Amino acid sequence: MQDKKTFPFMQNTFDERFGNKIIPFPGTLQKAVPALYMGLILARPGEKLPASIPDFRPQLQRDGLILLSWDKRFCKSGALYTAYWVTSSGILRYYASPALYIEDFAQAMPNRKSYAAEDGIDFYGEAGPDYIVHVAPELMMSSSQKLSQRPEHIKKLKALGIEVDFDYPYLLTTERKKKRLDHENKRGA
């Protein structure tokens, strides 16, 4: 199966209640907490998500980027969501959004670099994600095949009606400069 090759360190399960593949994080907690809340949810283009998981796939596609995944974490002030992308053309660059509340998440934009295979992992004592939805896991793992897999993934997105500019040369530093100039022009007007 593709999933075992993609995530060989995790055991695959199939949750028939939701009709999707769920890959639980290894550990003792998964016996006490349902796998849905302890792991990775595979939701490639066209696949269904569990009814309890909001589907942000169409809203999070951006010009020059391919949505890789998003995660949900709980903190003292509530649930926060973070999106992860890879550039859709040119050199592979990985980006992440800030952690946002659900009402702002559909407008999420990259604000920092990311490291694909590490997305969703907790660092320096941060809380780990409640779950992470992987939309394009084949574009996250380190391999030379990722460049050849991007066009195939883009073809699937276009077939589903996604109408972003996949040829746009997205670069975070350029986008930050544009945003700063727009802000300065609005203030000066």
What is the model's pLDDT at position 185?
Answer: 80
| Top-confidence residue, 38 or 124 | 124
What is the model's pLDDT at position 68?
Answer: 94
Contact 117, 69 (CB under 8 A): no
DSSP 89: S
Closest CA to 146 of 82, 84, 89: 89
Confidence check: pLDDT of 36 > 90:
no
Name which of 56-70, 81-95, 126-140, 167-181 the model is least confident about: 126-140
Segment holding 27, helix H or strand E: none
Bridge partner residues of 15 (DSSP): 20
Confidence of residue 118 (pLDDT cuts 50, 70, 90): low
How many domains are contained in the chain? 1
The distance in angstroms from the start CA to the end CA of the chain is 58
Confidence check: pLDDT of 117 > 80:
no
- Give the span between the Cα atoms of 155 and 172, in whole angstroms: 24
Backbone angle region of 27, left / alpha / beta, with phi > 0 → left and psi within -120 to 50 → alpha: left
- Domain boundaries, position 149: 2-188
Confidence of residue 189 (pLDDT cuts 50, 70, 90): low
Helix (H, G, I), strand (E, B) or coil at 46: coil
